[in-house]
Structure 1
Amino acid sequence: MKFSYLLVILAMLVLIFGIILPFFIGTNKNPTSATTGIFKSTDGGSSWALSVRSSEIGIALPAHILSFEFNRKNPNIIYLGTKGGSLWVSKNAGATWARVIDAKENVSKSAEVYSIATSAKDEKLIYLSVYQNNKGEVLKSVDGGITFDLVYFVPILKYGVFGAAINPENESRVHIATGEGGFLTSSDAGKTWKVDKWFPDGLISLIQNPARGSELFVLTPHGELYRTEDEGASWTRLTPGYASFSNAASITDIRLDQNNPSTIYISSEFGLLRSVDSGTTWKEVPLIIPPKGLSIQSVAVNTKNSREIYAAAGNSIYVSEDFGENWRAMPMNVTASIAALRIKPDNPNIIFAVVGK
């Protein structure tokens, strides 16, 4: 009788720890058994593992990722902004993830987090651009995400805030881009704001040059790209430089080369373009994908070696080790499309891919 009880207990333990518990907390599955999620490579993209393990039992990592940012002070800290699942964080370079719970409840658990800005000097300083309460808001944390305070909200309902940036040379200066077309600046760390420019269209992205804090780029839904070199005082329209490339205005990603501050890549339905003069002129980067065959969804540059470029198209990654002259394909064995690529700033062998965004 005792032996039978032992068998029953053993079977229950196998069921709990072998099947039920991994279902709730996630597992590092082989890519062939999963179709969406965050995938991680530690060998420059040769092999991949699913990186979705949640430290909260019963809470799964949301499938729709809107933003992916390394902490600029400590790149082992990674933030994910999700659609309807709020902010998530990994403090161990993507090994495990946890939802960030704001103790003040200013960040809703169902918030859409469109951008995350962190400090190069203080790893606890964070600005979020979120959509919640039927409007866009900017929230600030000075304690690493334990608490957040509201520092800005759009005056008109249904409009969002889609970008935030901290000037690395003067972190009291913060910039945001809104769906109303506003580029705003705070000179006192978010206490007050002023409008530098109202654009004729909404803004959906804000990119800052990390090597030149005064240089920023904004993008509109219709593929209009603008650059400022003086934190918003004046602007240059960059669209004419790539207008001759068919469908190049359908921009999917914008990446700056950390080793060469004047080099920028844009991916689009056209393919891949590169500028070496901060966006004034553009040239095609030839790929081994047929013209108009697949949209390039994301681009990434090796943070230590500018000659190594990654491009995502469909469910495959393409890599060049000679500045785009020659390419090789690296299939990921997933069925969904790869939406974003991110290379760890301090270790370019570590690459993350967002699949099925």
Structure 2
Amino acid sequence: MIPHSITREHVKITGLVILGVIALGMLFLAAFRFFAPDEDGSVSKTPEHAAVTHDTDSSLYVSEDGGTTWRGIPGARFSPFHVLFDTLGKQLLIGTQETGVWRALTDTYADVSQYKDENGTVPPEATVFDMALSDVSPARIYAALRYNEQGYLVMLTGSSFKELFFAPLEDTPVRKIAIDPFAADRIIIGAGSGFYQSSDAGETWEATYRFRSAITDILAHPHVPGQFFVTLQRGQLFRTSDYGKTWKEFTRSLSKFKGARNNQHLFIDSSSGIVYLTSDHGLLASWDDGAVWRAIPLIVPPGSLPALGFAIHPTQHNTLYISASSQLYKSEDGGQTWKGTQFMGKGVITAIAIDPADPETVVIGFTK
């Protein structure tokens, strides 16, 4: 029998207090076990709670929140020329200067590893000028390389490289690759002054056209069959609508922009069809397939710093990223306003890539 001085309500409250103390003790015990040092002195954590590693000396930085915060991908000690997302393979591909092709797995970005040719055909010190993916499954990975004083186009097949093309003259690099958006087996490359193409995935080739100076960039229009843009070493701009048989020049339209014929790189927004040109001048845009160009105002004064890296959001065409030296700028209104981030002491940002499967993930590469 319960004494008159102790009510049933008191008993209930006392029981709840005891249960609470027991639960709190179990919680502290679990926390102690989670954070208790292992035998080697490190803190135990399950993989899903593992600390994110930031390598401040890395030449590759990744942001997973649209450029708000950044961390260095561990182990990257090379100069990246080209960065490309292979979404089917869930990997980031990196083409470098004199250290070949590297990759990072996109689920963690925990480290980088070098592609090594098990056949020994491609040396690990090759320079990679460009990389491209074909729209097939599994994706075909192409790389424009220079080694042994000669230019090559190779395809990455597992742990080996398959040679598809070699430049006929020494010291003539294969600088650019374009895959026909309407035929995955059609590959376009620029080697020296030659515009070459293959319609059978690189088994055979034809020299479609030869310019008067070396090709520096090739861009395929995603909505117009047979339309390609080309820039040349002397700063000329050309466009073809018949797979390179005939060409129309648009160089004069660039003449009013100081520096627009130096360090040229072409880009296109697949949703709007806007063509962009980065150069020593800055950023230009064309709404009529290269006939007329308009300057997009940047924070950096025109002609002061070359714009080397550029990327367009795959679904939001008004979201742009551009680099100038060690500065990265992002616009969410098509280039009307910009927000900048400076990476002091990291070198020049030469490559920017956005993950098509997760556009909040952005990777930038630094070259010193």
Q: What TM bracket, shorter-length normalisation?
A: 0.7 to 0.9
The match for 1:326 among 337, 349, 354 is 337
2:128 aligns to what? 113
Structure 2 unaligned spans of 5+: 1-36, 44-51
Query: Deviation at 1:124?
Result: 4.0
Residue equivalent to 1:131: 146
SS in 1 for 2:215: coil
Distance 1:356 1:188 in 2: 36
- What SS does the aligned partner of 1:43 have? coil
Whole-Å Cα distance in 2 between the matches of residues 229 and 62 of structure 1? 41
Q: Distance in 1 between matches of 2:70 and 2:223?
A: 31
| CA–CA separation in structure 1 for the residues paired with 2:341 and 2:89 | 25
Name stretches of at least 5 consecutive residues in structure 1 with no aligned partner: 1-9, 19-26, 54-60
Q: Compute the displacement of 1:100 (Å).
A: 1.0
Q: Which residue of 169, 190, 206 maps to 1:156?
A: 169
**CA 211–40 in structure 1, closer or farther in 2 if over 3 Å, else same:** farther
Whole-angstrom distance in 1 between the partners of 2:223 and 2:40: 54
In the other structure, the counterpart of 1:70 is: 85
1:37 alignment counterpart: 59
Q: Which residue of 2 aligns with 1:49?
A: 71
Structure of larger gyration radius:
2
Paired-residue identity, %: 26
Alpha carbons of structure 1 residues 100 and 248: separation in structure 2 relative to 1, 3 Å: same
Residue 169 (1) aligns with residue 182 (2)? yes
The aligned runs of 1:1-357 (5 Å cut-off) are: 28-29=53-54, 33-34=56-57, 37-53=59-75, 61-71=76-86, 74=88, 76-92=90-106, 94-141=109-156, 143=157, 145-179=158-192, 181-212=193-224, 214-261=226-273, 263-356=274-367
Once the two structures are TM-superposed, the CA of residue 212 in structure 1 deviates from its matched residue by: 4.2
Q: Deviations over 1:259-292 (max 9, x none)?
A: 212x111122212111111211100111222343
Structure 2 match to 1:3: none
If the length of structure 1 is used for normalisation, what is the TM-score?
0.82
For the aligned residue pairs, the C-alpha RMSD in angstroms reads 2.5
Amino acid at match of 2:66: G
Q: Tell me the distance in 2 between the aligned counterparts of 1:195 and 1:219.
A: 17
**Following TM superposition, by how much is the alpha carbon of 1:28 offset from its aligned partner in structure 2, in angstroms?**
3.6
The TM-score with structure 2 as length reference comes to: 0.80
Structure 1 residues 95 and 237: alpha-carbon distance in aligned structure 2, compared to 1, 3 A threshold: farther
Judged with a 3 Å threshold, the aligned counterparts in structure 2 of structure 1 residues 83 and 282 are, in CA distance, closer, same or farther, namely same
Aligned CA distance change for structure 1 residues 318 and 177 (closer, same or farther; 3 Å): same
Conserved 8 A contact 1:344-1:351: yes
Amino acid at match of 1:37: S
Higher mean alpha-carbon deviation, 228-237 vs 79-88, is at 228-237
Structure 1: distance between partners of 2:331 and 2:183: 36
In the alignment, the residues of structure 2 paired with residue 260 and residue 113 of structure 1 have an alpha-carbon distance, to the nearest angstrom, of 30
Mapped to 2, the partners of 1:346 and 1:49 lie a distance apart of 20
Q: C-alpha separation between the residues in 1 aligned to 2:210 and 2:293?
A: 26
Residue of structure 2 equivalent to 1:56: none
Cα distance, 1:195 vs. partner? Answer: 0.7
Partner-residue secondary structure (3-state), 2:304: coil
Whether contact under 8 Å (1:129, 1:162) holds in the other structure is yes
Per the alignment, residue 57 of structure 1 pairs with none
Instruction: Give the residue type in structure 1 aligned to 2:85.
Output: F
For the Cα contact (< 8 Å) 2:59–2:365, is it kept in 1? yes
Measure how far apart 1:99 and its partner are: 0.9
For the structure 1 residues 316 and 104, does the alpha-carbon distance in structure 2 shift closer, same or farther, using more than 3 Å as the test? same
- Aligned-residue offset at 1:211: 4.2
Q: Distance in 2 between matches of 1:249 and 1:117?
A: 24
Q: 4+ runs of 1 displaced by more than 4 Å?
A: none
Number of aligned residues: 322
Letter aligned with residue 173 of structure 1: R
Counterpart of 1:41, as a letter, is S
Find the aligned partners of 1:287 and 1:334 in 2 and give their Cα distance. Answer: 22
3-state SS, counterpart of residue 240 of structure 1: helix
Provide the secondary structure at the position in 1 that maps to 2:341.
Answer: strand
1:183: Cα distance to partner?
A: 0.5
